[in-house]
Each structure stands twice: as C-alpha cells, then as structure tokens.
Structure 1
Amino acid sequence: MYLVTGGAGFIGSHLVAALASRGAEVMVVDRLGHGEKWRNLAAPTIAGLLPPEELEDFWSAAPPITAVLHMGAISATTETDGDLVAATNLTLPLWLWNACAEREVPFVYASSAATYGDGSQGFSDDASPEALARLRPLNLYGWSKLAFDRRVAQLLERGAAAPPQWAGLRFFNVYGAHEAHKGRMASVLFHKYRQVMQGEAATLFRSDRPGIADGEQQRDFVHVDDCVAVMLWLLDNPQVSGLFNLGSGRARSFLDLVRAMFAALGRAEEIRFIDMPDDLKGKYQYFTEAPLETLRTAGFAGQMTPLEEGVRRTIAQYQALDAAR
C-alpha cells in the first residue's frame, strides 16, 4: 500500500491516479471539505480517505507500506499564520521522516522552488547544509519548505536514521488539471482560462523592474504529468536518493504561456496588464529556471513536455471537466 498525503490535491491526485493505474493500493491522506475537491478523486479506485489528524493512529496499525509520498502542505504563498504553516509544513514531515526511517519505508516529499527566494543565489539543488544556509525565501511558505530541507541535511550529516530511500522534489511552476480547489494559488494558466471563459481579457502583472517588459517575467512552467513521471521513476529506482529540482529546465514568459492558451482555444489574443497586488510586492519571483543536472545524473532520462504542448493538453482537460459539470 502507498500512502499519499495531499492525495486529493493538485499534484497528489494525479499521482494517486497513476499509482492506481498500476494496480497499486493507495491510501489518501487529505480533507475534501465542502467544495468539489472530491472530483479530483472521481476516477481512481483508492483504498480509503484518511483525515490528517488520524495519520498517527493509522500508522501504528497500518499494513506494510510500500512508500510514503508526502504532497500535503499549506501551499499558499500569502499565508501569514506561522504556527499553522510550521505544524503542517515542518512538524508533520519530520514525523513522517522519522516514522519512515523506523519502519524502513521510502519517503518522497514535496519541496519547492520558493526556497530559492528571488533567485539571487541561483537555483542549484545542492543539498549540503552550506548551500541550503545561503538561500533566503521571500515568504513564510518558502521558509517552511527550506526549514525541512535544512533539517534533512542536518540529520544526514549527523548520520541519524533515515528512510532507505528519500527524495525531496523542488517543484517549480506546476500546471495541469485538478486545480479548481486551490483558489488564488491555482496556476496562472487556470486563472487566465477562467477569465477568458467569462468573456474577459487575460490579465497579467505589469513589471516594476527596469529592463523587464510587462508580461516578460519568466518562470519555469512544468506540466504535472512530468512531475508524476519523475515520482514514478523514483519509486522504480529505490537506489536513488537526494534533493532534486523538478521543472522543465527552461524559463518562459507569462506572455508565452497566455499566447499558448489563446492558440489552444483558437481565439484572438486579448491581454490586459494590471498592477501587482500590494501583498505580492517585494515577494514576487521575476525569474525561475530549474537546472536538471542532478536529476539527469541520477538517471532520469524522460523528456519534459514543451510549454505549447502542455498548454494544449491542459486546455483540453479544462474543457472536458467543464463539460462534465
């Protein structure tokens, strides 16, 4: 049995579906709430749905666990409740790390490109304590992810007990279907699609940096299917452990993304620029790009989905989901 925390969420639900398609038993740790998050689990057959607060009791009496894939987190970059974020993004994964070490269960967890802050220190996924100490996240969420990465590095350096396989995945800007429940934190593509479907222009933030034109802020956009492919590869290669960037390996502009969306919809471009919200000023990444050398050196040879192809695929999925509602 696989244990997937955040399994009803965006990346988690795609992972659950992929594992279920392999015939695996998957226990999902998550809450569905009162919205339509349940739709993310409409297709796969799961072993059950476990509330996070019951995880420790379940673990003590659980059947043999093949691997734990920890995708659950407070992922809002605007969250200000430090105690909540620390409990969810630091205390819980530390408990899981120790539990997996004790029972010798592989452990794969979601880190984040938010750990890199403004990118001034680069985007190297060097897992050494010295490299991790140089990073300066821009928000509470990024700090929490980096705090866990740093603790893992410290434990490993001390020779403390560790899971037989461990992998931290620094997800860059992931996009794909199953994001409706995320609200403001859903991908730019999801929000722009919704705007256009409501008859509005697609809005992008104006640049407030000299030398960077409006809409030319760049991110590493990676399709969720590529993220799942890497996680399945890790499960199939238990000898591989480490901290890995997970992006496309190529930065593209928000204008590129939106233009690909209009092309996929077969519509004329209609783009309007707006000022950046006050709560994002000074905390907004203008450039991210994932060096993939560590992942490639470890043996992953899969090709990442080009942006235009990924956007076409995602728009088709959005439209199919809308038609099914």
Structure 2
Amino acid sequence: MIIITGATGFIGSCLQAKLHALKEETVIVDWLGDQGKWRNIAKHTPDAVIMPEALDDFLKTAKNVTAVIHLGAISETTARDGDLVWQTNVDLSMKLWQWCAQHQVRFIYASSAATYGGANTAEEFIDDHARVDQLKPLNLYGWSKQVFDMQVLKQVETKQPCPPQWVGLKFFNVYGPNEYHKGKMISVVKVKFDDIVQGNAPKLFKSDQPHLADGGQARDFIWVGDVVDMILWFLENPKAASGIYNCGTGQARTYLDLAYAVCASMNVSKKVDFIEMPSALRGQYQYFTQANMNKIKQAGYNKPFTSLEDGIGQYIQDYLLKSDSYL
C-alpha cells in the first residue's frame, strides 16, 4: 500500500493516475472540497480516501504500507497565516517522517524551488545539503519548506531514527492537467491559454529590472509527467541514495518562450501584451530559476525531460482543447 497526501491536487492526482494504471494499492489523504477536485481522481479512484483529520487514527492500524508520498501542503506563495502554514507544512510533515522512521516505511516528500528565494544565477540552484540553511526564501511558503528540509537534515546528522529511504523533491515550475482548482496559483501555461481563448493576446509582466528585457524573466518549467516519472523512479529504486533533490529540467526558459509556445499550439499569431507587475509581487518575485540536475543524474536517473514546446503542445492539444480536460 502507498499512502499519498494531497492526492486530489495537481501533482498528487497525476501520480495517483500512474499508480492506478500500475495496479498499485493506494490510499489518499486529502479533502475533496467543493472546487471539483473529485474530477482529478474520477478516472483512477484510489482504494480509500482518508480525510486529513482522520489520518492519526488511520496510521494507528495501517498495515503493509510500503511508502508515504507526502505532497499535501499549503502551497500558495502569497499565504499569510503563519500558524496554519507551520501546522500544515512543518508539523504534519514531521509527524509523517517520524511515523515512517518508526515503521521503516520509505518517505518521499515535496520540498520546493521557492526555498532558493532570491537566487538568480544557475550556480545558486544547487541541491547541496550543506547549503540548505543558507538559503533565503522570499515568502512564508518557501520558508516553511526550508524549515522542514532543515529538520530532516538535523534528524539525519544527529543519527535520529530515519525512514529506510527518504527523498525531498524541490519542485520547480510544474504545469499540466488537473491543476484547474488552483485559482491564482495555476500555471502560467493555463493562464496564457485562457487569455487566447478570451480573444486576447497573452499578457506578461513588464520587467522592472533595467538589465532584463520585458518577457525575459525565466523559469525552469517542468511537465507534470516528468515529475511523476521522477517520483516513480525513486519508488522503483529503493536503494537509490536518500537526500534532497532538485526536480526541474535543468533548462531555464523565458516567459516569452512560453507565451509563444502557447500561441503556436493554438495556431494563433505570436503576439504578447506587456502589463505592469502588481506591487504585491515586487520584492517576492524570482526573475530566474534553473535546477542543477547533476545530483539526481549521479544517483542514476537518466530519463530525458520533455521540452517546453512539446509539453505545452501535449497539455493544450491532449487536454485543454478537449471537452474533458482531466487526466
């Protein structure tokens, strides 16, 4: 049995779809809510759905658990409730870590590229354990993820009980189907698609940095299928080295590249409108992210990543333009 937290969400439901296809027994821990998230798992129903408030009781009697994949979190980069974020992103994560350590169950959890904060050169996005406590996240969400990473490393360094294999994945900018419930945190790909559907040119923020052209802001955009493949690789390789790993493509692409790829996939002219960056984002905006992927490659992962153009084409043609856009 594999337990997945946050499995009615974006990445979790895509992982659930793959595990269901592989005929794995899965129990998901999440709320279905009232935003239509049930549709994310409608085609690949798990063996059980456990509400988060019932997790403690479930774990007391859980049998034959082979892995816990902890993707549940408050992931909004604009989150303001520090107590709730700490309770969800730190306390719950440590509770699951300790349960996995006690029962010798493998543990894979979602960290985040938001932990890198104001990093703006390729040399700064290195998943080196020795540098984790030196990172300077720009928001509460990124800080909470950094805190848990540090707690994990402290457990390891002080030789406290640990899961037999543990992996923290620093997700970069993930896009793909089943993200439709995410509101303002939905991927830029979907936002630009919606711009065009509404008859407008895709909108991008102007640069407020003198050295950077409008649309030159760059991110490591990764297709959700590649994220799922990376998680599955760790599940299939229980002896792969434990650690915190970047989960990106290793290639930064500009927002202009992304907007043009959306236009091409929708057969419209490559035209972009630039708008002012909201004041609320200034000072919390990353202008560049690019995962250094050497560490996971050295661990043995060698599957090629989907290009931005191919990923966007697949997302739009196979999902967004279909009457049923769910995986």
Report the AA paired with residue 106 of structure 2.
P
Aligned mates of 2:256, 2:26 — CA distance in 1: 39
Report the AA paired with residue 126 of structure 2.
S
Matches within 5 A, 1:297-312: 297-312=298-313
Is 2:183 aligned against 1:190? no
Report the AA paired with residue 187 of structure 1.
S
| Structure 1 residue matching 2:181: 3-state secondary structure | helix
Aligned mates of 2:15, 2:125 — CA distance in 1: 25
Give 1:42's aligned residue.
42
Aligned residues: 322
Is 2:250 aligned against 1:245? no
Give 2:320's aligned residue.
318
Give 2:115's aligned residue.
115
> What do you get for the CA RMSD once the two structures are aligned?
1.2
Q: What's the CA shift string for 1:79-106, capped at 9, x where partnerless?
A: 1000010011000000000000000000
Matches within 5 A, 1:190-229: 190-229=190-229
Kept after mapping to 1: 8 A contact 2:207/2:215 = yes
Give 2:11's aligned residue.
11
Matches within 5 A, 1:17-166: 17-119=17-119, 122-128=124-130, 131-166=131-166
Aligned mates of 2:14, 2:163 — CA distance in 1: 24
Aligned mates of 1:136, 1:15 — CA distance in 2: 30
The sequence identity of aligned pairs, in percent, is: 48
Report the AA paired with residue 276 of structure 1.
M
Q: What's the CA shift string for 1:205-249, capped at 9, x where partnerless?
A: 010001101111000000000000010000011112111001011
Q: CA 1:323–1:102 in structure 2 vs 1: closer, same or farther (change >3 Å)? A: closer
Aligned mates of 2:182, 2:6 — CA distance in 1: 12
Aligned mates of 1:222, 1:110 — CA distance in 2: 15
Aligned mates of 1:200, 1:38 — CA distance in 2: 31
Most deviating of 155-164 and 113-122: 113-122
Aligned mates of 2:157, 2:97 — CA distance in 1: 15
Q: CA 1:323–1:54 in structure 2 vs 1: closer, same or farther (change >3 Å)? A: closer
TM-score by length of 1: 0.97
Is 2:268 aligned against 1:232? no
Report the AA paired with residue 142 of structure 1.
G
Aligned mates of 1:64, 1:213 — CA distance in 2: 54
Q: 1:134 Cα deviation (Å)?
A: 1.0
Q: What's the CA shift string for 1:134-171, capped at 9, x where partnerless?
A: 10000000000000000111110000000000000000
Off by >3 Å, runs of 4+ in structure 1: 321-324
Q: 1:37 Cα deviation (Å)?
A: 1.1
| Structure 1 residue matching 2:321: 3-state secondary structure | helix
Aligned mates of 2:227, 2:45 — CA distance in 1: 21
Give 1:258's aligned residue.
259
Aligned mates of 1:113, 1:323 — CA distance in 2: 27
Which residues of structure 2 form unaligned runs of 5+? none
Report the AA paired with residue 177 of structure 2.
A
Aligned mates of 2:84, 2:276 — CA distance in 1: 30
Q: 1:323 Cα deviation (Å)?
A: 6.8
